Amino acid sequence: MAEHRTMQRAALLDAARSLLSERGTDALTFPALAERTGLARSSVYEYFRSRAAVVEELCAVDFPVWAAEVEAAMAAAETAEDKVEAYVRRQLELVGDRRHRAVVAISVSELDDGAREKIRAAHGGLIAMIVEALGELGHRQPRLAAMLLQGIVDAAVRRIELGAAEDPPAIAEAAVSMALRGVLGA
C-alpha cells in the first residue's frame, strides 16, 4: 500500500513538472494533475493540500538534484576561474531539463510564504557553492559577488527560456564572459 502511494505521489510530481515546463505556472491545477495521472481530483487532495504544497515538494525533490549537478561540474574544475565557468555553464546546460524548467516556472509564480522560503533557501545553497571560488579569485565581498553572479545566470536562463534571437550557446558564452571578465570583456 505504501509503495502504491509513493508511486502515485511520484506520478503527481512528474505531472506537475510536465505542466510547469510545458505551459507555466497557471497550468498547475488539481484538475490538470488529476487528468494527467488518471486519478480523481479528490485523490490529488489526499497527497497535497494546495498548489503551494506541490511546489514545495517539487523544490524539495528537484532543486537538490539540480544543485548536485552544478556542484559536480564545479568539483571537476581545477582552478577557481574554472569553477566559476562550470557554475555558469552547468546551470545554463540544465535549462532544457524538465526539472530545471519546473523550478524556473515555480520561482516566478505567486506562492505562499512557506514555498517562497524553501525556494530562497535552495537558491541560497546554490549561491553558497560559488562563494569560496569567488573568495579565491580575490573578491573582497564574495557573498555579494556570488549573488550578482547568480543574477547573470538567472538573466541568461530567462533569455534562453524566452527563445531569444541568440542561440543558447551564444547566450552561455556571453554569460561566462560577463561572469569572468565583467562588462569590459577584457
pLDDT at res. 103: 65
Which of the four CATH numbers 1.10.357.10, 3.40.630.10, 1.10.150.120, 2.60.40.10 does domain 51-185 have? Answer: 1.10.357.10
Q: What is the CATH number of domain 1-48?
A: 1.10.10.60
Residues in the chain: 186
pLDDT at res. 65: 85
pLDDT at res. 133: 93
What's the pTM?
0.77
Average pLDDT, the chain: 85
Round to whole Å and give the CA distance between 43 and 34: 8
Look up cell 557554475; give the residue: 87
Q: Where are the domains of the chain?
A: 1-48, 51-185
Question: For 14-29, how does the pLDDT look when each residue is reduced to its tens digit (9 = 90+)?
Answer: 999 888 878 777 888 9
Round to whole Å and give the CA distance between 179 and 109: 27
Read off the C-alpha cell for 71: 556542484
pLDDT at res. 174: 94
pLDDT at res. 83: 96
Please give the full DSSP string across 138-159, using - where no structure is assigned.
Answer: T-SSHHHHHHHHHHHHHHHHHH
Binned at pLDDT 50, 70 and 90, residue 123 comes out as confident
Average pLDDT over residues 86-115: 74
CB atoms < 10 A from the CB of 47, how many?
18
Q: At residue 110, does pLDDT exceed 60?
A: no
